């Protein structure tokens, strides 16, 4: 079971003349089979938080780790853009991130490609796929390393509404099936309410303002009264925090 | 039905004889060189100059196409062409292989280290613009007639293009993809082989194309001053013997050679290496464009 632990995290990017504070004293924990959405306006440090957790960036102060049984956990990362190697086939992109290249690993990669419905495209170049399909490869790639935890940075924000909706359902069923710890960054409150059992709200300046638990049964239909009501409540929180741009 | 037929004929007759022969791109591609050749054969330029300067009595500006073709045929039969090209191509290959090796290493170093880049950048720019004529004269003074001089000029002429392209290539490696590799903790050698080197390949191709082209130009010039064999030397000796048609013939062989290399070597190689590229040319590491929800 993976544990995400963020303690007094601060991140400052040195800027010309004035430093930019991306995260300010952020602390929270999450572990086990949980889906935590991190929401907030753009520029509130959501992506920076994920990058620090993934080890791509280093904290200025504080700590941010994902551990499993005391040691560093294996982490999958789904980015806003698919970030596939354009010169490698879909299958080779899946294999690029694997620790070892055995038949067993290959089989596992095929299984996750099948889960996102892209078995037949395993030989295709990324450029031959639609944006939604490429993003599905990115999702399959993250799951295929069988990570202890999964980081997702607005993975559906570049997709059209219908494709995004389909992928949200796929993601939800994969999360239910694999029981991962998921940290999901989004600026879409509806998406957060539909998918998560917990919502962490960051405000401008990178401070954590609210940590909400959502006690609603899955699957959640956006048209369902309770889901709509919860979404309205979270949006009200946003208004109270003056997070909505006017 | 009547309307379709008549509108069809309107479209056809909408293009005049003149447009069909000269304006459509395909026609122009054939018509232009044919007209050029006819004008050349009729010595129109000479006649025009004769009108402008009535006292002008010198011989023709250029030999006619027929004379040039005859000279080219002779060069082919008597083995001059083969001898000249085989010697020159060997020098080109030697000099450019060196330029590719040294240029790739220096270019990668410049791309990876801003300090090395700051140190060498101006030298590379000077190298890029330094006239081959001066190099040709210098190597003639240093090494006399022989192989070393022309090979060195090929190296010097090709090197800056390789360095510049490779260092640009390193800057161009997508940060997003490198971050992706870092997030997945991909070992360094795999990142090098599957991410960095493939990103560099378009720049490597550009190095090949421009480096070779400029190496060739430098070589011909160097052979004029510092060699007793090769294409450049042959051109000089033909000029010395007043073989005007022979000089033009060689120039045409150069042009044909460059087209053959482009079509048969670079064209095919780049189609194979870049077969993953989208037909539209869209950068696939960028998010796809979709309508807003």
**DSSP string spanning A183-199?**
EEEES-HHHHHHH-SEE
Distance from CA of A51 to the nearest CA of B (A): 8
Q: Are residues B36 and B134 in the same domain?
A: no
Q: Which residues of B touch A51 (CB under 8 A)?
A: 179, 183
* B31 has a pLDDT exceeding 60: yes
| Same domain as B105, residue B22 | no
Residues B45 and B69 in one domain: no
Residues B138 and B31 in one domain: no
Same-domain status, B45 and B80: no
The residue among B47 and B275 whose pLDDT is bigger is B275
B203 lies in the same domain as B81: yes
Q: Which domain holds residue B240?
A: 65-273
Per residue in B190-233, pLDDT (tens digit) is: 999 999 999 999 999 889 988 898 999 999 999 998 888 999 99
Q: Residue B186's closest CA among A83, A84, A95, A103? A: A95
At residue B286, the pLDDT reads 39
Q: Which positions in chain B touch A128 (Cβ < 8 Å)?
A: 278
ipTM for the complex?
Answer: 0.88
Using the 3D structure, point to which of B29, B45, B61 is the last residue of a domain: B61
**Same domain (yes/no): B31, B95:** no
- B93-139 pLDDT, tens per residue? 999 999 999 999 999 999 988 999 999 999 999 999 999 999 999 99
Does any CB of chain B come closer than 8 Å to the CB of residue A145? yes
Residue B55 scores a pLDDT above 70? no
- Residue B2 is predicted with a pLDDT of 43
Pairwise pLDDT comparison (B53 vs A114), residue with the higher score: A114
pLDDT at B23 over 90: no
* Residue B151 in domain: yes
Which of helix, strand or coil describes residue B59? coil
Q: How many domains does chain B have?
A: 2
Q: B77 or A222, which is more confident? A: B77
Question: B165: which residues sit within 8 A by CB, 6+ positions away?
Answer: B107, B203, B204, B206, B207, B210, B211
Asked if residue B286 is part of any domain, the answer here is: no
Q: Name which of A50, A51, A80, A83 to mutate to probe chain B: the one with the most chain B Cβ atoms within 10 A of its Cβ.
A: A83
Does B41 have pLDDT greater than 90?
no
Measured at the alpha carbon of residue B135, what is the angle toward residues B132 and B137, in degrees to the nearest 5?
110
Same domain, B131 and B41: no
**Does position B277 have pLDDT exceeding 60, yes or no?**
yes
The pLDDT of residue A239 is 78
Whether B169 maps to a domain, the answer reads yes
Give B292 or A107, the one with higher predicted confidence. Answer: A107
Alpha-carbon distances, residue A18 vs A13, A22, A25 (angstroms): 9, 13, 19
Supply the DSSP symbol for A218: S
Residue A126 near chain B (CB below 8 Å): yes
Q: What is the pLDDT, as a whole number, of residue B10? A: 44
Check residue A243 and give its pLDDT.
Answer: 54
Q: What is the pLDDT of residue B8?
A: 42
pLDDT given at position A206? 86
Q: Are A149 and A4 in contact (CB under 8 A)?
A: yes
Work out the pLDDT band at B146, boundaries 50, 70, 90. confident
Same domain, B262 and B185: yes
Separation of alpha carbons B95 and B234, rounded Å: 20
Cα separation values, B192 from A188, B170, B185, B186, Å: 37, 11, 13, 10
Residues of chain A scoring pLDDT < 70: 241-246
User: Are A84 and B284 within 8 A, CB to CB?
Assistant: yes
- Structural domain includes residue B34: yes
Query: Tokens 């909408």 identify what position?
Result: B14
Give the CATH number for residue B98. 1.10.3720.10
Provide the pLDDT for residue A50.
Answer: 94
Q: Are residues B71 and B89 in the same domain?
A: yes
Domains annotated for chain A, with CATH where assigned, are 1-73+182-246 (3.40.50.300)
pLDDT value for A183: 95
Q: What separation in angstroms does the CA of B208 have from each of A25, B120, B168, B214, B273?
A: 53, 21, 14, 10, 14
Q: Do B144 and B84 touch, CB atoms closer than 8 A?
A: no
Decide if B222 contacts B132 (C-beta within 8 A): yes
Q: Is residue B46 part of a domain?
A: yes
pLDDT of B281 higher than 50: no
Tell me, what's the pLDDT at B61? 64
Q: Which residues pair with A41 in a beta bridge?
A: none
Q: Which residues of A touch B286 (CB under 8 A)?
A: 81
| B4 band by pLDDT with thresholds 50, 70 and 90 | very low
Q: Quote the pLDDT of residue A234.
A: 86
C-beta atoms surrounding B252 within 10 Å: 15
Q: Is A127 in Cβ contact with B284 (below 8 Å)?
A: yes
The position carrying tokens 């963020």 is A6
Q: Which residue of A56, A75, A125 is in closest CB contact with B276? A: A125
- Please write the tens of the pLDDT for every residue from B157-195: 999 999 999 999 999 999 999 999 999 999 989 999 999
Q: Is residue B4 part of a domain?
A: no
Question: CB A88 to CB B276 under 8 A?
Answer: yes
Verify that B125 and B248 share a domain, yes or no: yes
* Same domain, residue pair B182 and B42: no
Q: Closest Cα to residue A205, out of A84, A51, A41?
A: A41
- Is B6 contained in some domain? no
């Amino acid at each position: 079971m993976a544990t995400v632990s963020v303690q007094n995290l601060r991140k400052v990017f040195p800027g010309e003349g004035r430093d930019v504070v991306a995260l300010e004293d952020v602390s929270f924990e999450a572990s086990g089979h949980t889906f935590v959405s991190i929401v907030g306006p753009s520029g509130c440090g959501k992506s920076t938080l994920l990058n620090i957790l993934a080890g791509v960036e280093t904290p200025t102060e504080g700590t941010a780790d994902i551990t499993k049984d005391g040691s560093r956990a294996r982490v999958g990362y789904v980015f806003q853009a698919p970030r596939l190697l354009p010169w490698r086939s879909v299958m080779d992109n899946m294999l690029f991130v694997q620790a070892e290249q055995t038949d067993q690993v290959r089989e596992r990669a095929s299984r996750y490609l099948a889960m996102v419905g892209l078995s037949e495209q395993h030989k295709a170049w990324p450029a031959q796929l639609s944006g939604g399909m490429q993003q599905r490869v990115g999702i399959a790639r993250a799951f295929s390393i069988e990570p202890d935890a999964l980081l997702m940075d607005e993975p559906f924000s570049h997709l059209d509404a219908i494709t995004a909706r389909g992928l949200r359902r796929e993601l939800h069923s994969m999360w239910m099936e694999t029981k991962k710890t998921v940290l999901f960054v989004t600026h879409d409150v509806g998406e957060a309410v539909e998918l998560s059992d917990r919502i962490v709200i960051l405000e401008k300046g990178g401070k954590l303002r609210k940590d909400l638990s959502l006690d609603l049964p899955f699957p959640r239909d956006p048209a369902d009264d309770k889901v709509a009501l919860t979404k309205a409540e979270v949006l009200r929180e946003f208004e109270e925090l003056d997070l909505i741009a006017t | 039905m009547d309307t379709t037929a008549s509108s069809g004929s309107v479209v056809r007759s909408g293009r005049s004889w003149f447009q069909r022969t000269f304006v459509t791109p395909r026609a122009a591609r054939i018509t232009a060189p044919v007209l050029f050749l006819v004008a050349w054969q009729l010595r129109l330029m000479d006649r025009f100059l004769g009108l402008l300067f009535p006292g002008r009595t010198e011989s023709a500006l250029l030999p006619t196409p027929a004379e040039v073709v005859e000279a080219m045929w002779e060069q082919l039969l008597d083995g001059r062409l083969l001898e000249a090209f085989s010697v020159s191509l060997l020098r080109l290959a030697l000099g450019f292989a060196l330029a590719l090796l040294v240029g790739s290493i220096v270019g990668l170093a410049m791309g990876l280290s801003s300090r090395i880049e700051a140190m060498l950048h101006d030298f590379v720019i000077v190298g890029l613009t330094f006239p081959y004529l001066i190099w040709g004269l210098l190597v003639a003074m240093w090494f006399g007639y022989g192989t070393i001089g022309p090979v060195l000029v090929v190296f010097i002429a090709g090197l800056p293009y390789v360095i510049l392209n490779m260092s640009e290539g390193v800057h161009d490696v997508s940060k997003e993809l490198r971050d992706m590799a870092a997030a997945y903790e991909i070992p360094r050698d795999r990142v090098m082989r599957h991410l960095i080197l493939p990103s560099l390949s378009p720049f490597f191709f550009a190095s090949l194309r421009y480096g070779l082209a400029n190496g060739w130009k430098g070589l011909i010039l160097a052979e004029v001053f510092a060699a007793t064999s090769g294409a450049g030397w042959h051109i000089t000796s033909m000029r010395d013997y007043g073989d005007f048609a022979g000089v033009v013939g060689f120039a045409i062989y150069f042009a044909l050679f460059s087209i053959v290399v482009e079509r048969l070597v670079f064209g095919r190689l780049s189609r194979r290496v870049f077969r993953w590229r989208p037909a539209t040319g869209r950068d696939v590491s960028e998010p796809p464009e979709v309508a807003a929800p």
